[in-house]
Chains A and B, each alone.
Chain A
Amino acid sequence: MSENEASKPKVVLVDDEKDFLKLMENWLRPQYEVFSFSDPEAVADRVRALVPDVAILDVHMPAESGFALCKRLRAQPGFETLPVVFLTGSKTDEDFVQHLETGGSRYLTKPISRQALLDALVEQIGPSRPA
Chain B
Amino acid sequence: MAQSPISVLLVEDDADYAESVALGLRRPTPGREPFSIRLARRLTEAVDALAAGPFSAILTDLQLPDATGLEAVRALLDAAPQTPLVVFTNHGDETLALDAVRLGAQDFLLKTEAGEALLQRALRYAIARREADARCARYESEIDERRRVDELKDRWLGTLTHDLRNPLSIIKGAVLELDEGRAGPLNADQGTLVALARRQSERVERLVVRLLDLTRLESGRVRAECRAMDADGAVRLAAKGFERAAAERGLTLGVEVVPGSGQIFADPDLFEELVVNLVDNALRFARRTVTVRLAAAAEGFHELSVTDDGAGIPSDRLGLLFTRYGQLERPRGGGGYKGTGLGLAICKEIADLHRGLIQAQSAPGKGTSFVVRLPGAGAKTPPPLASAR
Q: Name A's B-contacting residues (CB within 8 A).
A: 17, 19-20, 23, 26-27, 30, 89-90, 110-114
Contacts and interface: CB of A to CB of B under 8 A. Distances in A.
Nearest to B166: A110
Contacts of B174: 19, 23
A114 B173 contact: yes
Contact of A114 (B165, B176, B183): B176
A86 B362 CA distance: 49
Given A23-B173, A23-B177, A114-B173, A17 B183 contact: no
A128 to B, nearest CB: 16
B317 to A, nearest CB: 34
A113 B174 CA distance: 11
10 contacts: A19-B167, A20-B166, A26-B177, A27-B177, A90-B162, A110-B165, A111-B165, A111-B168, A112-B169, A114-B176
Nearest to B176: A114
B170 interface: yes
A111 B177 CA distance: 16
Interface in B148-201: 162, 165-170, 173-174, 176-177, 182-183
Given A26-B182, A26-B183, A111-B165, A20 B177 contact: no
Nearest to A90: B162
Contacts of B183: 26
Interface of B: 162, 165-170, 173-174, 176-177, 182-183
Contacts of B162: 90
Nearest to B174: A23
Nearest to A91: B216
Given A19-B174, A110-B166, A114-B177, 12 more contacts: A17-B166, A17-B170, A19-B167, A23-B173, A26-B177, A26-B183, A90-B162, A110-B165, A111-B166, A111-B168, A112-B169, A114-B173
Chain A facing B: main interface SS: loop
Q: Which 7 A-B pairs have the closest CB atoms?
A: A111-B169, A23-B173, A19-B170, A20-B170, A26-B177, A23-B174, A23-B170
B263 to A, nearest CB: 30
A116 to B, nearest CB: 11
Chain B facing A: main interface SS: helix
Nearest to A30: B182
A55 B165 CA distance: 24
Contact of A110 (B169, B176, B177): B169
A55 B168 CA distance: 25
A36 to B, nearest CB: 14
Contacts of A27: 173, 177
B166 A89 contact: yes
A27 B176 CA distance: 11
Nearest to A111: B169
B206 to A, nearest CB: 12
A113 B169 CA distance: 8
A20 B170 CA distance: 6
A20 B165 CA distance: 13
Contacts of A17: 166, 170
B218 to A, nearest CB: 16
Contacts of A114: 173, 176-177
Contacts of A113: 173
Contacts of A20: 166, 170
B387 to A, nearest CB: 29
A114 B182 CA distance: 12
Contacts of A110: 165-166, 169
Contacts of B165: 110-111
Nearest to B208: A111
A112 B167 CA distance: 12
A21 to B, nearest CB: 10
Nearest to A19: B170
A27 B170 CA distance: 12
A7 to B, nearest CB: 21
Nearest to B216: A91
A117 B177 CA distance: 14
A94 to B, nearest CB: 14
A30 B169 CA distance: 21
A17 B170 CA distance: 10
Contacts of B169: 110-112
A57 B167 CA distance: 18
A6 to B, nearest CB: 23
Contacts of B176: 114
A125 B25 CA distance: 96
Nearest to A112: B169
A54 to B, nearest CB: 20
Contacts of B167: 19
A110 B170 CA distance: 10
